[in-house]
Structure 1
Amino acid sequence: MKIVKRVLKFIAILIGILLISTVIVVLIDQQSTNYLKIKNNKFANNTYLITNANIIPMNQDTILVDKMVYIKEGLIQNISDNIEIKGVEIIDAKNKYLSPGLIDMHVHVWDRYELGVYLSNGITSVRNLWGMPMHLRLKEDIENNKIIAPIFFTSGPKLTGPEFIGDDNLHLVSPIEAKEKVISYKKRGYDFIKTYYGLTEDIFDAVIEQALVSNMDIVAHPSHKVPYSYHFNPQIKSIEHAEDIIQQPLNYTLDTLKLKEVITDFKKSKHIAFSPTLTVYNNIYQMLIDDNILETEALQFMNPLIKKVDSKAQFDRWTTSKLKDSSVVNTIKKQHEFHLEIIKKLHEVDVTFICGTDAGIGVTVPGFSIHQELAFYKEAGLSNYEVLKTATLNASKTHSIMNTMGTIEVGKIANLLLIDDNPLLDLSALKNPTYVFVKGRKLDRETLDSFENKARNRSNLIASALRYLENMIVEK
């Protein structure tokens, strides 16, 4: 009996040590991102007068030349030829362009370091589509103005059906359970429902029904268990991934006749937006042609846990495929080119595109990837104005909770980029903005560069693993 008590006491001590160690590791990681804190530092000010600005408002295809913009407490208070305001900092934007901040509508955030990288690339809002408990804490800190970060929206965990397709998914077994999860996510503070590969029709119906009752929009990664046309339900606000058009309704073929049916369905569903995420698929091709891609400068900005586990696994998978059949390189290249054709055809029938990168998984780097995504839309035939709309106006109209951003208008949140050149002529002007304003708070280029430096090759693998473990325990 004494031996049993000693063993139990020893186990209790070990558990205690483990818990204390876990708390210490997470706290140290959080301390390492104190550079994002707002309180009592230079990020606190959110009232400015910008003068001599060439404004790209994005509610129309034009430039408002040599205007003043008064930002008061994070909101655009006035836009005019002349504004008389005393006692505020003045920013001279002579010969520069003022554009809305970019919105990445499909990201996977793994730590706070990434928030600074998004800002550095002009991204002032993100839609996180793989919700975990850590994201609720992150969202709370951002909303309470504790840290400088893109405005943060997040779905709940990915909802799948009973078939096991990975331990990172929530496998629903009944319609009743599906409804309970939607209710729970609403109560806990998640913004959207993310439906995923594998949802069966009865469970999908339950998710849609309860999402309507709970007033939660659905973001759909298409499920192969229902027809693709099933995803055009009014409760679904966006459909993700061009590759899934090929994998589902086109049955892994580059069939232009079957594509016409999909185009027709999109044309009929004016309420829905489409997020192509072309970059993440094209990165398969990049892995196939670059044996050293995991060692590149860009990959230094990936979360170390993701780089070690997911990036490496994807690289190994496609390297093995190439060794077995070298034609896979050309196959992936041709499918990417067909994705561009899909965008072109959808654009011809006025489908609304929203820019999403799928950043944070594989080798798709947070922040930087948005510029490649926008370039692909340009390659597919969109004008520069139409491309920029995907990451501003269109994105902001997808969900009602995002309507206060995306354009430069009185009353909108002051999420802005001050850039040297006109992106309506050259999209690369959006890279390395001179200033980024997020909720009216000004970040200069030096500060933005420091955010990148802090995120480069960070050493928070264990802390990231603990947060992921928390998700596995809490959400299963």
Structure 2
Amino acid sequence: MKIVKRILKFILMIIGVFLIVIAVVLLVDIQSTNYLEVDNNTSADSNSSLITNVNIIPMNKDTILVGKMVYIKAGIIQNIADTIRIKGVEVIDAKNKYLVPGLIDMHVHIWDRYELGLYLSNGITAVRNLWGMPMHLRIKEDINNDEIIAPLFFTTGPKLTGPEFIGDDNLSLVSPIDAKEKVISYKKRGYDFIKTYYGLTEDLFDAVVAQATISNMDIVAHPSQKVPYAYHFNPQIKSIEHVEDIIQQPLNYKLDTLKLKEVINDFKKSKHNAFSPTLTVYNNIYQMLIDDNILASEKLQFMNPLIKKVDSKAQFDRWYTTKLRDASIVETIKKQHDFHLEIIKKLHKVGVTFICGTDAGIGVTIPGFSIHQELAFYKEAGLSNYEVLKTATVNASKTHLIMNNMGTIEVGKVANLILIDSNPLVDLSALQNPKTVFIKGRKLDRETLDNFENKARNRNNLIASAARYLENLIVEQ
């Protein structure tokens, strides 16, 4: 009996030491991102300013307001006029540069706080995280309490799937009662939205929608192959994700233009759902197929090390092996990407509302930087520059009521803004490397934004990331 007690005591001691080590690792990782912390010693007026000599692209209509002034107080746009006289605030001479609403990426997967700086560096002032975990609730709390400088942060709960095992990173529902309880739980815990995912059966899907309606929680839908695609046009579903799922589900993996017409007509009839194509993440399959050294590329230095080691490598190995077995896969993937662009053209023609989402944070889709490729694809698909910019500003902000306070430059809106040298309505590349980003009125210059990038490059937080992922598996399953 004494031996058993000693063994148990030893095991508990090992567990205790392990937990202490993990706690220290997590603390060190948080301390490593203290460059994002709000400096409490700064002036109380640090998020108030007067911008002069600026050309405004307001995004509430297709126009440019030339030579204006913008008064920001406590992070809110107070006035826009030819002349504003205010004392006691910083005056920022824009020197005829262009002021645009901060960009919004509506489909991201956040793995650590370093990525928050990468989004800001690329002019992204709000994100919608679609893979909710406990760590995201902590990030959201710190942002909402103005403890860290970061994009405005919105997150779904864990991905809801059916009883069929799809992966340990999903929440497998087993009954309608289970589905309703999870929705209620996510609302109570502070998640903003529900994400339905691959594998939800009709009874489970119906239960999620019914309870989400009662709980007043918007749904973001990754289409489930267990229900008809038209199921996803329910008004409680505010956006449908991924253009490739149109091909994989209603088109049955065929580039079928006749069958596509039926899907286009269903979208045309729907007035409730936005569509997030996430063209970049699928195109990155093609990029992996044509670049055998992509995992060692400069851009992959910005990927979370756990994701790079596990997911990025797994995806690359999958497609590299497929290419060795069948070289025609390269052309097949390229043809499907081109067909995606045709789908966007047809959806745009019938008036579908697009919102910009990149699926950044998985595979080789880099946080922050990828939005510029996504926007370029919309342009290639036939949208005008103004229509492209709407996808990442006003369209995104209208998707959910809790995001309505951003996306345009108007009195009363949050001062999430980017100041750029030239007109993006002429050249979308003007959005890259913004000279100044305003997040809730707080000015971030290019030097600060470059520092955010440098801090995130080749970061060494694999163990901390693994610990947070393990926490998710323990808490959510």
Q: What is the alpha-carbon distance in structure 2 between the residues aligned to residue 271 and residue 2 of structure 1? A: 67
> What amino acid is the match of 1:35?
Y
Where do residues 254-333 of structure 1 align in structure 2 (5 Å cutoff)? 254-333=255-334
Tell me the CA shift for residue 21 of structure 1.
0.6
Partner of 1:2: 2
Q: Any idea what the Cα deviations from partners look like across 1:384-437, whole Å, max 9, x if unmatched?
A: 000000000000000000000000000000000000000000000000111000
> What amino acid is the match of 1:430?
L
SS at match of 2:91: strand
Partner of 1:381: 382
Tell me the CA shift for residue 2 of structure 1.
1.2
* Contact residue 43 and residue 443 of structure 1 kept, 8 A: no
Partner of 1:429: 430
Q: What is the alpha-carbon distance in structure 2 between the residues aligned to residue 43 and residue 455 of structure 1? A: 27
SS at match of 1:164: coil
SS at match of 1:353: coil
SS at match of 2:409: coil
Partner of 1:414: 415
Partner of 1:247: 248
Q: What is the alpha-carbon distance in structure 1 between the residues aligned to residue 123 and residue 223 of structure 2? A: 29
Q: What is the alpha-carbon distance in structure 1 between the residues aligned to residue 249 and residue 415 of structure 2? A: 40
> What amino acid is the match of 2:463?
I
Partner of 1:202: 203
Partner of 2:91: 90
* Contact residue 43 and residue 441 of structure 1 kept, 8 A: no
Partner of 1:454: 455
Q: What is the alpha-carbon distance in structure 2 between the residues aligned to residue 223 and residue 261 of structure 1? A: 18
Q: What is the alpha-carbon distance in structure 2 between the residues aligned to residue 467 and residue 152 of structure 1? A: 18
> What amino acid is the match of 1:14?
I
> What amino acid is the match of 1:25?
V
Change in CA separation of 1:114 and 1:360 when aligned onto 2, cut-off 3 Å: same
Q: Does 1:122 align with 2:123?
A: yes
> What amino acid is the match of 1:308?
K
Tell me the CA shift for residue 42 of structure 1.
5.2
Change in CA separation of 1:248 and 1:41 when aligned onto 2, cut-off 3 Å: farther
SS at match of 2:444: strand
Q: What is the alpha-carbon distance in structure 2 between the residues aligned to residue 319 and residue 54 of structure 1? A: 48
Partner of 2:164: 163
Q: What is the alpha-carbon distance in structure 2 between the residues aligned to residue 125 and residue 339 of structure 1? A: 26
Where do residues 56-205 of structure 1 align in structure 2 (5 Å cutoff)? 56-205=57-206
SS at match of 1:443: strand
Tell me the CA shift for residue 298 of structure 1.
0.4
Q: What is the alpha-carbon distance in structure 1 between the residues aligned to residue 221 and residue 139 of structure 2? A: 23
Change in CA separation of 1:205 and 1:51 when aligned onto 2, cut-off 3 Å: same
Tell me the CA shift for residue 9 of structure 1.
1.0
Q: Does 1:28 align with 2:18?
A: no
Tell me the CA shift for residue 94 of structure 1.
1.5
Tell me the CA shift for residue 79 of structure 1.
0.3
Q: Any idea what the Cα deviations from partners look like across 1:131-180, whole Å, max 9, x if unmatched?
A: 00000000000000000000000000000000011111100000000000
Partner of 2:353: 352
Partner of 1:49: 50
Gapped regions of structure 1 (runs ≥ 5) = none
Q: TM-score, normalised by structure 1?
A: 0.99
Partner of 1:11: 11
Q: Any idea what the Cα deviations from partners look like across 1:200-248, whole Å, max 9, x if unmatched?
A: 0000000000000000000000000000001000100000000000000
Q: What is the alpha-carbon distance in structure 1 between the residues aligned to residue 167 and residue 435 of structure 2? A: 42
* Contact residue 43 and residue 442 of structure 1 kept, 8 A: no
Partner of 1:339: 340
Per mean C-alpha deviation after superposition, the further-off stretch among 2-11 and 213-222 is: 2-11
SS at match of 2:240: strand
Structure 1 consecutive aligned stretches of length 4 or more whose deviation exceeds 6 Å: none
Aligned identity (percent) is 83
Q: Any idea what the Cα deviations from partners look like across 1:303-356, whole Å, max 9, x if unmatched?
A: 000000000000000000000100000000000000000000000001000000
SS at match of 1:157: strand
- Say what the alpha-carbon RMSD is for the aligned residues: 0.7
Partner of 1:402: 403
Q: What is the alpha-carbon distance in structure 2 between the residues aligned to residue 250 and residue 316 of structure 1? A: 27
Partner of 1:474: 475
> What amino acid is the match of 1:34?
N
SS at match of 2:208: helix
Gapped regions of structure 2 (runs ≥ 5) = none
Tell me the CA shift for residue 95 of structure 1.
2.0
Q: What is the alpha-carbon distance in structure 1 between the residues aligned to residue 13 and residue 295 of structure 2? A: 40
> What amino acid is the match of 1:311?
S
Q: Does 1:39 align with 2:36?
A: no
SS at match of 1:352: coil
Change in CA separation of 1:267 and 1:333 when aligned onto 2, cut-off 3 Å: same
Tell me the CA shift for residue 40 of structure 1.
2.1
Q: Any idea what the Cα deviations from partners look like across 1:58-100, whole Å, max 9, x if unmatched?
A: 0000000000000000000000000000010000012200000
> What amino acid is the match of 2:10?
F
Q: What is the alpha-carbon distance in structure 2 between the residues aligned to residue 322 and residue 162 of structure 1? A: 33
> What amino acid is the match of 1:255?
D
> What amino acid is the match of 1:10?
F
Q: What is the alpha-carbon distance in structure 1 between the residues aligned to residue 88 and residue 173 of structure 2? A: 57
Q: Any idea what the Cα deviations from partners look like across 1:106-131, whole Å, max 9, x if unmatched?
A: 00000000000000000000000000
Q: What is the alpha-carbon distance in structure 1 between the residues aligned to residue 248 and residue 14 of structure 2? A: 49
Tell me the CA shift for residue 43 of structure 1.
8.8
Q: What is the alpha-carbon distance in structure 2 between the residues aligned to residue 399 and residue 378 of structure 1? A: 25
Q: What is the alpha-carbon distance in structure 1 between the residues aligned to residue 426 and residue 41 of structure 2? A: 37
Q: What is the alpha-carbon distance in structure 2 between the residues aligned to residue 6 and residue 43 of structure 1? A: 58
> What amino acid is the match of 1:21?
V
SS at match of 1:197: coil
Change in CA separation of 1:401 and 1:145 when aligned onto 2, cut-off 3 Å: same
